[in-house]
Homo-oligomer: A and B are copies of this chain.
Amino acid sequence: MPTISKRAHEMIASPIRKYLPAAQAAAKRGIKVYGLNIGQPDLLAPTVFWKEVSKWRKGVLAYAPSTGLAEAQEAWSTYFQRRGLPLAPKDVLITTGGSEAIFFSMAVTCDPGDEIIVFEPLYSSYKSYAGALNIKLVPVTLSSDNGYHLPSRKMIEKAVTKRTRAMVVINPNNPTGAVFTRAELTRVAAVAKKYHLWIIADETYRDLVFVGGKTVSIYEIPGAAPYVILTDSASKRMNLCGARVGCLASTSTDVMANTLKLAQARLSSPTIEQLAVNPLLTGSQKYLDEIRNEYRRRRDAVYGALRKMQGVKVHQPEGAFYLMATLPVKNSEDFVKFMLGNFAYKSQTVFVTPGEDFYSTPGKGRNEVRIAYVLKVKDLKIAMEVLEKGLQAFILKSQWRNPNDK
């Protein structure tokens, strides 16, 4: 038989999605599974979005231009400019979710064998696309000790080689919830400038921040703009995960012209959704306050519970809706499998994601898990109780199996 490509073969299965069958099996056994594994909030999509969708009753459903429809480019530009980001409509290309923007940003900057500096733990899609595109990720490992904030300029510079083409900065961060400061971003910009590197700035969670009032965008750093390729998404801040609307933006005409070629290969992004999000981009931004406040309450519930759990190390997230927690276990993958396959407390269990696959360095993150606090506070409180019981049971079970093992 013919063979599968090495690039596909060596790609990791999504850590966020690969345990889904085990979770489904648990549900079939009658167990309620609290899903904190994926950034899929339980919040309703905005009414105005449905209103826009239901306007479509007939007509020709044509391809959008590969750049996105002009109305959509303008709406994103308006959204950005309100926040002080100097992005004109022509600087914006509409993508099918933020994922496609990540794919484009990596393909447009790197050839096979080229390197991208990433701060780990990092959102796992970057790892997947690096595999698909034969790009080498060079990790700079962050520490839970300082809440996964960025290291010194020197530490970043150590990762630069002749093959380095770009750095990825996810801010607010998925999976850690860290929000980077102006000083941290200034370091990144300085390294970009010195070594002529692109900054792939993923600001998907820009509006979900609980400290300092707002996220400092990379565009606020003097001199950074020419180096920036921004990736963004409507999925999280608008509760529109299934709509698949995002964008890539850059003031570099070179980036935009070459990204367009990649975009033309896939013809266009879906027409209905890219128009339906526009009122949310251009209209009142008050709905964001509501969403932010809701996540703050959720964060407080989860962080409050976790910090009291014996042996658990956790840092207060400053934005987004994730956190990385260090558990008193050897291998969090075993713990996740245990929770889904062998455990239930009052017929309930919790589904979190093993930390290892958010690291690019093999073996790192084995005692960590990512928790997405995407459920109602009431549910999160129960989930944390179940998690604690599960952790105790898992530790007990491990001790019983390996009595001499600490």
Contacts and interface: CB of A to CB of B under 8 A. Distances in A.
Interface in A177-196: 192, 196
A8 B57 contact: no
A271 B40 CA distance: 13
A112 interface: yes
Contact of A99 (B13, B97, B265): B265
A261 B63 contact: no
A344 to B, nearest CB: 24
B265 A125 contact: yes
B258 A9 contact: yes
Interface string A166-177: 100000000000
A165 B3 contact: yes
A359 to B, nearest CB: 17
How many copies of this kind of chain does the complex include?
2
Nearest to A110: B5
A50 B60 contact: no
A278 B142 CA distance: 46
Given A2-B198, A272-B53, A8 B61 contact: no
Contact of A61 (B38, B54, B62, B243): B243
A261 B2 contact: no
A221 interface: no
A64 interface: yes
Interface stretch (A126-134, A346-354, A381-389): A126-134
Interface residues of A, number: 91
A243 to B, nearest CB: 6
Given A56-B50, A258-B8, A267 B112 contact: no
A17 B134 contact: no
Interface in A260-284: 260-262, 264-273
A273 B53 CA distance: 11
Given A9-B258, A13-B264, A266-B96, A165 B50 contact: no
Nearest to A265: B128
Interface in A1-54: 1-9, 11-14, 16-18, 20, 38, 40-45, 47, 49-50, 53-54
A255 interface: yes
A331 interface: no
Top 6 nearest A-B pairs (CB, nearest first) are A242-B271, A128-B265, A14-B264, A61-B242, A8-B258, A99-B266
